[in-house]
Amino acid sequence: MAKLKALYYINQFYAGIGGEDKADVGLQILKEKKGPALGIEKFWNDEMEVVQVIACGDNFVNNNKKYESILPEIDKILEKIKPDIFIAGPAFNAGRYGVACAKITDYVRKKGIPSVTSMYYENPAVKMYVKDNYIIQTPETAAGMRKALPKLAKFALKLAKDEKILASRFEGYFPRGYRYNEYHEKTGAERVVDILLRKLNNKPYRTEVPLRGFEIVVPAKAIKDKKEIKAALITTGGLVPMGNPDKLKQAFSVTYGKYNIEGIDTVEKGKYESIHGGYDTTIADDNPNRLIPLDAARQLEKEGIIKNLYSDFFSTCGIGTNVENSKDIGYRMAVELKEAGVNAAFLTST
Amino acid sequence: MKLNRQYYNVKDAKWAEKTSYNNGILYISKEELKKEIVPYTKNIKNVDFEIVKPGENTRIIHVLDTIQPMYKIKGESKQYSGYFGEPIKTGDGTTNLLSGFTVMESAPLPWETGSASSGLLYPRDAIMDMQGPISGFTPFSETINLVIIYDLEEGKSSAEYDDDIRLCGLKVSEFLASKTVDFDPDRVEEFSIDEINPELPNVVLVWQCQNQGVYANTYLYGHPIDNLVPTLLHPNEMLDGCVVSGNYVWPAFKVPTYLHVNHPIILELYKKHGKELNFRGVIFSRSHNPSNWHKRRSAEFCIKLAQYLNTDGLVMAWEGGGNAAVDGMLTIQGAEKRGIKASTITFEFGGKDGTEGILLVDDVPEADAVITGGSIEKTYTLPVVDKVVGGDVLRLNKEMGGYFPPSHESITFDTTTQLYLSGNQSGHSKLFAEEY
């Protein structure tokens, strides 16, 4: 019988192209197997092989425009190889590599090809992409490769063979949110006492019903020298140029607007308006600086208290927006600002 | 306080001229049972009895309460103290139990419009199957059940029906269990928490029960818990039947007397007592407190009692739905804030695949060890059965004007609220929501 075919994705580092300095390289079709793609086959008992390894720089994939530019290439590779499985990573706790793996895994899965990636639970990509993707859990760093790879290999083979995928706790992928009634090995009474004892004995424990969870967001470290502040202005108060050129939604936002403020010292009445659907916007419209405090921020800039302001302000409407969309909007804002070297932001809400 | 439970296995139950227990066989005389309960049938026209055994393709409907038959042979009090006598503190001495056997009550309590059972608090049909997809929801698919089928007089009050039904059930249980007195038990178990190991953490169960009036009630030493502020029980009091159920409104969420007496969490804490923890007691409270003020006071009192016991950890468990969850979560929050660690078990929502809406009606950030008792928002199709005990028709959807399908046929439910004990609130079953 012919072997099953795996297409494997790794980043510039595992591909041997380079480290951080090569994080901007575009899509590479490798001629040989590298990194985990090399080590994984021995777990497949000759039932499956890696037929192609592709790689990309982490920064490249994390830039939306650049990422979109490689999708046609990926389509072509998929068309040519017709893989039985797509595998990416493991990315461990590397944030950008994790997002790259998960993003491409998500894309390939949507093309109808079974796909899997692998990383550490704190990798931000887990929360962003876990809903419909199989992400196998790994230790925190690449030192755990020997632990991670057999698990990933076993699961990938199972998925490629279209075998029944068992529950998260048996297969080792992060729960995707799907919950079905079944019978446990232990009664509820046994488990509710077990978990209490784990808490009391300071052993790791995991709630079976996830908390609705207000995540604690750890604030960024304070900037010691104010003169190093490169700040952006962001509002959830819905300020846009008159006429709402991007047609931002008045509520239930899914995206944000970005408006250039280079060369202006104030957001003038009559040129900007708030389109927010949840409060009386009269006062905001009367002086838009009260949503985007450009007047005051320019003053700080002039006095040399901060270094400078970012070229654009971001705006969205914070009303009825679900947590997932809020996180997505916030993440995209943060990525853009980080790439531009912005290290602080003034956030105003209404 | 020491309690010896003597277990008498019931391997089979048979009809006979005279009631007796011999070599694991319980012989039951219907006539004798009827004679025993005569004083308690003022509002009952007639009763009949059926024996239902594991493995039968049988459905039991209109299930009200299920009772652990037991008989106290040594000690100051009777079993189920407060009934048929004074509310003498129970929980020590020796009690004989019929093991693997229950007394179950079944009656289609009238759907009234002008009384306590109107509105949402009406008696809903509790349905259980001895076989098939829902049999794992109750422990009683694995026990031999003597079902008492009540034919009620017309025009009596909810409270009158309720009292008679319960007293008959308890009397039948007592009578049957009393037949063990001349025999040696199959097994004896001693229950005591007198000895404490200072090296081990102190743990309590906070057991919060439903009280919303007749048909939605719990009894402590024979009296409803309307005015109860949280109180302390020795676990042996519960094992001896100080808490009795009178709760018929939500089949999924109610906890039968059998499970108060054989409370799975109490038995689990006992199993670990002296080995992994010190079981310090049961804090017994009322759920469905009417206002936020009452809820807060109840939670605070539970925590106060836990603090008096030097509690390190508590298991919070409750009977009932969303209202009760708020009481439970407030208790968890208050406990954790005062350095007492907490875990809990509850049913969940989440829709067909677990992704719709919220999983819990209420939660607090401190509730970080929540065990799932399974989701009530799942679809189950009950198969056709050979036999139904309790009635020919199901009574469903009172709110929508009523729906009365034949009880032996296949029927699909899109939630488990009608299915007896599917909420798994005392942790009796292995039902849970598996993550994919």
Reduced to 3 states (helix: H, G, I; strand: E, B; else coil), residue A316 is coil
Reduced to 3 states (helix: H, G, I; strand: E, B; else coil), residue A36 is helix
Spell out which residues of chain B touch residue A217, defining contact as CB-CB under 8 Å.
Answer: none
Evaluate if residue B357 carries a pLDDT over 80.
no
Q: Please name the member of B343, B345, B433 whose beta carbon is closest to the beta carbon of A181.
A: B433
**Domain presence at residue A199:** no
Of A272-276, B16-20, B304-308, the range with the lowest mean pLDDT is A272-276
Report the pLDDT value the prediction gives residue A213, as an integer from 0 to 100.
Answer: 63
d(CA A176, nearest CA chain B) in Å: 6
Nearest residue in chain B measured CA to CA from A165? B436
Q: What is the 3-state secondary structure (H, E, C) of chain B?
A: CCEEEEEEECCEEEECCCCEEECCEEEECHHHHHHHHHHHCCCEEEEEEEEECCCCCEEECCEEEEECCEEEEECCCCCCCCCCCCCCCCCCEEEEEEECEEEEEECCCCCCCCCCCCCCCCCCCCEEECCCCCHHHCHHHCCEEEEEEEEECCCCCHHHHHHHHHHHHHHHHHHHHHHHCCCCCCEEEEECCCCCCCCCCEEEEEEEECCCCCCEEEEECCEECCCCCCEEECHHHHHCCCEEEEECCCCCCCCCHHHHHCCHHHHHHHHHECCCEEEEEEEEEECCCCCHHHHHHHHHHHHHHHHHCCCCEEEEEECCCHHHHHHHHHHHHHHHHCCCEEEEEEEECCCCCCCCCCCCCCCCCCCCCEEEEEECCCCEEECCCCEEECCCECCECHHHCCECCECCCCEEECCCCCECCCCCCCCCCCEEEEEC
Give the separation between CA A114 and CA A86, rounded to whole angstroms: 6
Report the pLDDT value the prediction gives residue B120, as an integer from 0 to 100.
Answer: 67
Reduced to 3 states (helix: H, G, I; strand: E, B; else coil), residue A151 is helix
Nearest residue in chain A measured CA to CA from B435? A179
**Domain presence at residue A206:** no
Regarding whether A166 and A31 lie in a shared domain, the answer is yes
Regarding whether A100 and A242 lie in a shared domain, the answer is no
Of A321-325, B78-82, B180-184, B356-360, the range with the lowest mean pLDDT is A321-325
pLDDT digits (tens, 9 = 90+) for A259-310: 999 999 999 999 999 998 777 788 899 999 999 999 999 999 999 999 999 9
pLDDT digits (tens, 9 = 90+) for B106-155: 999 998 765 545 566 789 999 999 999 999 999 999 999 999 999 999 99
Spell out which residues of chain A touch residue B277, defining contact as CB-CB under 8 Å.
Answer: 197, 200
**Domain presence at residue A208:** no
Regarding whether A162 and A85 lie in a shared domain, the answer is yes
Q: Which residue has the higher pLDDT, B361 or A67?
A: A67
pTM of the complete model: 0.82
Cβ pair B342:A196 closer than 8 A: yes
Regarding whether A136 and A25 lie in a shared domain, the answer is yes
Cβ pair B429:A187 closer than 8 A: yes
> Are the beta carbons of A52 and A76 closer than 8 angstroms?
no
Percent of chain B scoring above 70 in pLDDT: 98
Report the pLDDT value the prediction gives residue B222, as an integer from 0 to 100.
Answer: 97
d(CA B153, nearest CA chain A) in Å: 40
**Domain presence at residue A42:** yes
Which of A176, A209, A215, A324 best probes binding to B when mutated, by most B CB atoms within 10 angstroms? A209
A201: Cβ–Cβ under 8 A, 6 or more apart, which residues? Answer: B201
B280: Cβ–Cβ under 8 A, 6 or more apart, which residues? Answer: B193, B196, B202, B203, B204, B309, B310, B311
Report the pLDDT value the prediction gives residue B356, as an integer from 0 to 100.
Answer: 83
Q: Which domain holds residue A319?
A: 226-348
**Final residue in a domain of this structure, among A171, A197, A212:** A171
Spell out which residues of chain A touch residue B344, defining contact as CB-CB under 8 Å.
Answer: 192
Spell out which residues of chain A touch residue B348, defining contact as CB-CB under 8 Å.
Answer: 179, 209
Report the pLDDT value the prediction gives residue B280, as an integer from 0 to 100.
Answer: 98
Instruction: Give the side-chain half-sphere CA count within 13 A for A267.
Output: 26
**Amino acid type, B6:** Q
* Cβ neighbourhood burial of A266 (10 Å; 0-12, 13-18, 19+): middle
Please, which pLDDT band fits residue B322 given cuts at 50, 70 and 90?
confident
> Are the beta carbons of B257 and B102 closer than 8 angstroms?
no
Cβ pair B363:A212 closer than 8 A: yes
- Find residue A91's DSSP bridge partners: none
Q: Please name the member of A180, A185, A214 whose beta carbon is closest to the beta carbon of B433.
A: A180
Cβ pair B267:A186 closer than 8 A: no
**CATH number for position A125:** 3.40.50.2300
**And the tokens for A244?**
């709402």
Please, which pLDDT band fits residue A225 given cuts at 50, 70 and 90?
very high
Cβ pair B354:A179 closer than 8 A: yes
Provide the number of structural domains found in chain A.
Answer: 2
Cβ pair B344:A192 closer than 8 A: yes
Evaluate if residue A214 carries a pLDDT over 70.
no
Which of A132, A168, A171, A179 best probes binding to B when mutated, by most B CB atoms within 10 angstroms? A179
**Final residue in a domain of this structure, among A130, A154, A171:** A171
Give the separation between CA A325 and CA B356, rounded to whole angstroms: 16
> Are the beta carbons of A147 and A138 closer than 8 angstroms?
yes
Report the pLDDT value the prediction gives residue B28, as an integer from 0 to 100.
Answer: 98
Regarding whether A115 and A248 lie in a shared domain, the answer is no
Instruction: Give me the residue spans of the domains in chain B.
Output: 3-413
Report the pLDDT value the prediction gives residue A276, as an integer from 0 to 100.
Answer: 87
pLDDT digits (tens, 9 = 90+) for A149-193: 999 999 999 999 999 999 999 999 999 999 999 999 999 999 999
pLDDT digits (tens, 9 = 90+) for B365-413: 999 999 999 999 999 999 999 999 999 999 998 877 789 999 999 999 9
Regarding whether A135 and A56 lie in a shared domain, the answer is yes
Regarding whether A31 and A138 lie in a shared domain, the answer is yes
**Domain presence at residue A196:** no
Regarding whether A135 and A26 lie in a shared domain, the answer is yes
Check CB contact of A283 with chain B, cutoff 8 Å.
no
